[in-house]
Structure 1
């Protein structure tokens, strides 16, 4: 399996935790209220191939800096489990051998959650689509037309089925030869949640955690929630709408961030049933109580019609913002 042919990076269509929250107001200025809150301790890096950032507010700056180091160490620990690019990661070993004994608890936990989201979305969220990624990437490398030939798609789809993931107490098994998993549609949300839990358990009350998905802790200033903007795919530095976050998470899935072809017709967002890679929506943003849920559902909803999305929204305490392919106006559900 060659996953280095095309950089697999979820495009975060959220304007929030980088240079500004609202307009051109810097984050530290938005938070600071007559010096009642300290300047943030900021870390920028990469988590699972996506741009990542922490901005922590704590009266003890040394403690905040120590928390940053703890958070970064946690990110690196989880990358050793979920990464498709580290040759000795638990996920790579599972894909290579089709079986993993004594799996890390985080891998078992996240795969269990992944299966739950797959069942809740009628299989539209499916971590076994890595073989589709490999097929499309191979087509690009070989210069063959997209989408791949129907016969090739049919053959690969025989290995796409979350129900063939067998989770046992001390073992994970992929029941079909040649299966391969990716957690890129949920792991960034999971890492965001784990880092958030770590920070909260160590006394942090106000922060933005962005490990490829966004989660807010506390508030940006007394009595005011955090705000995040949903980016315009045509102008990523501009927002189509702003969303309040009150100890909530926000995730955007948009195929425009990782296209297989120059025109952007084919992306990393697959329909697990058909193998097609042209999303129904230009972007899907989900607000949820946690980043794992927001991440998984924004992935799944990208290939679902509005009627089906309404059904999902009715069963989850989430909200969604859908951007049609031929419009610059968001559809807000929930």
Structure 2
């Protein structure tokens, strides 16, 4: 979700993001009137960047430091790789009292997407992912004998969510928000930047979101890639882009088994080389790209009809 399953980024433990306000960045040979100040770091294991349109280097430095601080705060809620995170505590104890507002909000959103997709998007898939990882750590092929038991724990409807407590009703269940958390963090950073009066900025925290157009006046032009290379270009202007493909997180050397798993069967699916979704928010784009990459054409059509504002690219 990968944590980044996209753009061939390796999974890594959560690292402290480093701040770097660089010299003005030039995109596609354009000449923006205001310099683009660039930060690069790691967010939930994925390479990340912010290209901030800001004339003042000192102001850019202050704002980007605030962004890094917020990213790190949100990672401490959603990371599967930090045993101290809120999500890790919930998976370990099967309940979490006084959960962070952000966790309540994102789990509630995930449940609504689960309902809209008929369970194709399901945050309780983590036990199945873990079964794959454990199996292929010792074997080159075949399927895990733990898969049936892990699959039996998958059901997004068996999560109780309130501001007082989150509870997993199935004691074998385990959650991952890797299919949506990067988009959610992207939107939170977009809100922070808007509150600072920033625009003409591109955020890429595993998912991309453009605040307004590129400083040169054109749209932000982003290549859409699969394992074979770039196959299309999306233009963003105040919208978000998410990409999903099985190439991002393979479990076995062949790449046949990967993180894009149908929660109904427990099997990795290979309907598409990649799916890219443009939507108004990165949270929605992230969840939809995950769901649409996991299902076939007929089910995809039914899901897309519920989100007519979304633009979908496939390869």
TM-score using structure 2 length: 0.90
| 1:199-220, Cα deviation, whole Å (9 max, x unpaired) | 0110101111011100011111
Name the counterpart of 1:158: 152
Alpha-carbon offset, residue 147 of structure 1:
2.6
Instruction: Give the match's secondary structure for 1:216.
Output: strand
Number of residue equivalences: 298
**CA 1:261–1:144 in 2, change beyond 3 Å: closer, same or farther?**
closer
Aligned to 1:330: none
Kindly indicate whether residue 225 of structure 2 is the aligned counterpart of residue 225 of structure 1.
Answer: no
Distance in 2 between residues matched to 1:146 and 1:257, nearest whole Å: 20
Contact 2:8 2:247 in 1 (8 A): no
Cα 1:29/1:156, change in 2 over 3 Å: closer
Stretches of structure 1 lacking an aligned partner (at least 5 in a row)? 1-6, 15-25, 324-334
Give the match for residue 62 of structure 2.
Answer: 66
Per-residue deviation, 1:222: 4.7
Give CA deviations for 1:39-80 in whole Å, capped at 9, x if unaligned. x11111110011110110112221111111011111000000
Q: Which residue of 245, 249, 252 maps to 1:254? A: 245
Q: Which residue does 2:268 correspond to in 1? A: 277
Q: Do 2:209 and 2:241's aligned partners in 1 also have CA atoms closer than 8 Å?
A: yes
Aligned to 2:130, which of 120, 134, 148? 134
- Partner SS state of residue 120, structure 2: coil
SS of residue paired to 1:129: helix
- The structural deviation recorded for 1:93 is 0.2
State the secondary structure of the residue aligned to 2:137.
helix
Q: In structure 1, what is the equivalent of residue 232 of structure 2? A: 241
Q: Could you tell me how far apart the structure 2 residues matched to 1:178 and 1:280 are?
A: 29
Conserved? CA contact 1:114–1:127, under 8 Å: yes
Aligned partner of residue 53 in structure 1, secondary structure: strand
* Cα separation, 2, equivalents of 1:8 and 1:204: 28
- Partner of 2:99 in structure 1? 103
2-structure distance, mates of 1:232, 1:8: 18
Contact residue 275 and residue 314 of structure 2 kept, 8 A: yes
- Kindly tell me: are residues 252 and 29 of structure 1, through their superposed partners in 2, closer, same or farther at Cα, counting changes over 3 Å? closer
Residue of structure 2 in register with 1:94 after alignment: 90
Query: How far apart in 1 are the matches of 2:184 and 2:3?
Result: 17
**Structural mapping, 1:77-88, within 5 Å:** 77-88=73-84
Following TM superposition, the consecutive aligned residue runs of length 4 or more in structure 1 with deviations greater than 4 angstroms are 28-31
2:274, 2:244 → 1: CA distance? 6
The two structures, once aligned, show a CA RMSD in angstroms of 1.7
State the Cα distance separating 1:141 from its structure 2 match: 1.6
